[in-house]
């Protein structure tokens, strides 16, 4: 007798999606001129038409941000700025379910993740940073820290609202105003956030949201009226931005790609480790910059861990993101799916052994079954290049030193995982690893108080915590 879970869909009635959106500039929703469709990647249904911001729109946004900065925001006390951020946090909590449903429809991630992870963390980021607004002199960044001015912020499609909060909250807390561009395929929660700004009575122009594609992003990066660029996305684009701002006075922070090693020592707590491996690469469909995409198994436990991992993967529920029991949702776009398929095919060509549990994938929409490749070595492309999908490359190591060497043998340096029950070994490994975020006996844990960011080609700067404030204050960090 088997226990079939009946469909348990979250209600779509919670959200009202307009047929067409413009931009949010100077506290008002303004019409866009050109539009492109945004779809639900699980069904390929067109959800709405999103505006493509051109030069005039970006100029207007920067002017509004500058005006707000000069006339209101830079003159306002930290105490009062903070209270706006507290309001925003509270309204996000109130409208949490609405945001979660919208995020799932637009992004393809399971409703359980939007509801239990993305949205609560986003609200928490605002709550945390609200409290910094009037305490900047205590942050260890100078006795009288000053904001930079207008920040141009470009965010990715994998955690749309969460990435927005990671950018907007500290910028505003530090006294800056912002022009933010959400990702092309996931603009809807940013546009709903604009409504929250209105409900919070945030002064006009403090937050401006312009939607569009790469061309819009370039307009922001190159805009002379912007003092600071914050970007989260691919390493490739990050380098383009770094070159573009080099001759300017703009400060810049980048949060880029990764190919994190998830290192399992022979004294790891096996069942929790298997959970951590699954979480590390299949959470959010693997669309995570800090995903544990390289599993490094100590050779003497490799067989046991792989056996348990495969059994565990058979229980992963892939399907309708709006179903509360779904574990892995849709791939965000046709383009991303093509990339994943291509790199997985490379893995086959390189001679690695591919395995997926039996998975019934829906007919419409963009889907990829959770996949592991065993017999991978550092020389394989699938061990070096970021796939950004639910594909795990499995390697082995003999000694702790070898494990660390393999883990560090990458141009990336965003994150790493360590699985061991021995404290000294865990601390030793964390000391050796060249990564900005290290998870021991856990993975993919985020908190507003915990600084996040990478070494080497994974980016510049940190977000969250006291360290994350530096990105938005003058004279600290980057010149």
Find the shortest distance in angstroms from Cβ 50 to other proteins.
31
Nearest-10 crossing angle of helices 96-107, 188-199: 160
Q: Examine residue 379 and tell whether it contacts other proteins (CB under 8 A).
A: no
Q: Examine residue 124 and tell whether it contacts other proteins (CB under 8 A).
A: yes
Find the shortest distance in angstroms from Cβ 302 to other proteins.
14
Structure tokens at 53: 């911001």
Q: Examine residue 134 and tell whether it contacts other proteins (CB under 8 A).
A: yes
Q: Examine residue 13 and tell whether it contacts other proteins (CB under 8 A).
A: no
Please give the backbone phi and psi of residue 251, each rounded to the nearest 5 degrees, phi first.
-90, 155
Q: What share of the chain is helix, strand, coil (3-state, %, to 5)?
A: 40, 20, 40
Query: Considering 289, 386, 457, 463, which one is annotated as catalytic?
Result: 289
Answer for which of 44, 45, 116, 299 binds other proteins (CB under 8 A) is: 116
Find the shortest distance in angstroms from Cβ 17 to other proteins.
24
- E strands in 126-278: 150-154, 177-181, 207-209, 228-232, 251-255, 261-264
Answer for which of 91, 130, 220, 416 binds other proteins (CB under 8 A) is: 130
Find the shortest distance in angstroms from Cβ 475 to other proteins.
20
Binding mask 298-317 for other proteins (x = CB under 8 A): -----------------x--
Strand partners, 147: 473
d(CA 168, CA 209): 11
The piece of 97-105, 133-141, 368-376, 381-389 that touches other proteins (CB under 8 A) is: 133-141
Find the shortest distance in angstroms from Cβ 97 to other proteins.
14
d(CA 292, CA 38): 29
Find the shortest distance in angstroms from Cβ 311 to other proteins.
9
Answer for which of 84, 128, 368, 472 binds other proteins (CB under 8 A) is: 128
The piece of 42-50, 228-236, 270-278, 333-341 that touches other proteins (CB under 8 A) is: 270-278
CA-closest candidate to residue 389, choices 458, 452, 343, 433 = 343
The piece of 56-64, 125-133, 187-195, 454-462 that touches other proteins (CB under 8 A) is: 125-133
Place of tokens 């660029």: 229
**DSSP-derived secondary structure for 385-429:** S---SSEEEEEEESSHHHHHHHHH-SS--SEEEEE-S-HHHHHHH
Query: Considering 10, 103, 184, 255, which one is annotated as catalytic?
Result: 255
d(CA 251, CA 227): 7
The piece of 34-42, 55-63, 127-135, 385-393 that touches other proteins (CB under 8 A) is: 127-135
Q: Examine residue 215 and tell whether it contacts other proteins (CB under 8 A).
A: no
Strand partners, 153: 180, 230
What is the edge-to-edge ordering of all strands in the sheet holding 261-264? 353-355, 371-374, 391-397, 294-298, 261-264, 415-419, 437-440
The piece of 37-45, 255-263, 330-338, 442-450 that touches other proteins (CB under 8 A) is: 442-450
Answer for which of 146, 325, 350, 408 binds other proteins (CB under 8 A) is: 325
**Sign of the Cα pseudo-torsion (281, 283, 285, 286, in order):** negative
The piece of 57-65, 160-168, 375-383, 421-429 that touches other proteins (CB under 8 A) is: 421-429
**Cα atoms found within 13 Å of the Cα of residue 439, Cβ hemisphere only:** 24
Find the shortest distance in angstroms from Cβ 205 to other proteins.
24
Answer for which of 218, 270, 346, 359 binds other proteins (CB under 8 A) is: 270
Taking the least distance from each CB to other proteins, the nearer of 375 and 400 is 400
Q: Examine residue 423 and tell whether it contacts other proteins (CB under 8 A).
A: yes
CB-based burial label for 395 (10 Å; 0-12, 13-18, 19+):
buried
197 catalytic? Reply is: no
d(CA 425, CA 105): 43
CB-based burial label for 445 (10 Å; 0-12, 13-18, 19+):
exposed
359 catalytic? Reply is: no
Binders of other proteins in range 60-79 (CB under 8 A): 79
Catalytic positions:
255, 289
Where along the sequence are the contacts to other proteins (CB under 8 A)? Answer: 1-8, 79, 82-83, 86, 90, 112, 116, 124, 127-128, 130-135, 138-140, 267-273, 275-276, 315, 324-325, 400, 421, 423-425, 427-428, 431, 441-442, 448-449, 465-466
């Amino acid at each position: 007798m088997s226990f079939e879970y009946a469909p348990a869909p979250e209600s779509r009635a919670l959200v009202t999606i307009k047929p067409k959106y413009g931009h949010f500039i100077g506290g008002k929703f303004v019409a866009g001129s050109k539009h492109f469709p945004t779809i639900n990647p699980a069904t390929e249904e067109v959800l709405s038409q999103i505006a493509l911001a051109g030069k005039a729109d970006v100029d207007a946004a920067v002017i509004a941000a500058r005006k707000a900065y000069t006339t209101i925001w830079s003159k306002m006390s930290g105490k009062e700025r903070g209270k706006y951020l507290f309001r925003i946090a509270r309204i996000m909590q109130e409208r949490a379910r609405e945001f979660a449903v919208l995020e799932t429809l637009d992004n393809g991630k399971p409703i359980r993740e939007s509801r239990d992870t993305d949205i609560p963390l986003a609200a928490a980021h605002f709550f945390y940073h609200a409290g910094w607004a009037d305490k900047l002199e205590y942050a260890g960044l100078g006795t009288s820290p000053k904001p930079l001015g207008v920040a141009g912020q470009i965010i990715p499609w994998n955690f749309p609202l969460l990435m927005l909060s990671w950018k907007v909250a500290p910028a505003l807390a530090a006294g800056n105003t912002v022009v933010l561009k959400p990702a092309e395929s996931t603009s809807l929660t940013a546009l709903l956030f604009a409504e929250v700004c209105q409900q919070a009575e945030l002064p006009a122009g403090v937050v401006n949201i312009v939607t569009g594609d790469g061309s819009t992003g370039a307009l922001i990066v190159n805009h002379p009226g912007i003092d600071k660029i914050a970007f989260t996305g691919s390493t490739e684009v990050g380098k383009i931005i770094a070159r573009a701002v080099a001759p300017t006075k703009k400060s810049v922070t980048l949060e880029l790609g990764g190919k994190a090693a998830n290192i399992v020592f022979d004294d790891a707590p096996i069942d929790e480790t298997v959970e951590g491996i699954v979480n590390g690469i299949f959470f959010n469909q693997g669309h995570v910059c800090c995903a544990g995409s390289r599993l490094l198994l100590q050779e003497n436990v490799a067989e046991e861990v792989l056996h348990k991992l495969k059994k565990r993967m058979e229980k992963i529920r892939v399907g309708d993101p709006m179903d509360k029991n779904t574990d892995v949702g849709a791939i965000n776009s046709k383009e991303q799916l093509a990339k994943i398929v291509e790199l997985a095919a490379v893995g086959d060509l390189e001679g690695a052994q591919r395995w997926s549990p039996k998975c019934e994938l829906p007919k419409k929409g963009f889907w990829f079954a959770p996949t592991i490749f065993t017999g991978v070595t550092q020389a394989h492309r699938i061990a070096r290049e970021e796939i950004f999908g639910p594909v795990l490359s499995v390697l082995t190591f003999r000694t702790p030193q070898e494990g660390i060497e393999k883990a560090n043998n990458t141009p990336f340096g965003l994150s790493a995982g360590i699985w061991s029950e021995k404290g000294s070994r865990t601390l030793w490994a964390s000391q050796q690893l060249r990564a900005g975020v290290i998870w021991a006996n856990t993975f993919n844990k985020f908190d507003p108080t915990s600084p996040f960011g990478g070494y080497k080609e994974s980016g510049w700067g940190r977000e969250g915590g006291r360290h994350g404030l530096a990105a938005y204050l003058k004279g600290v960090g980057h010149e």
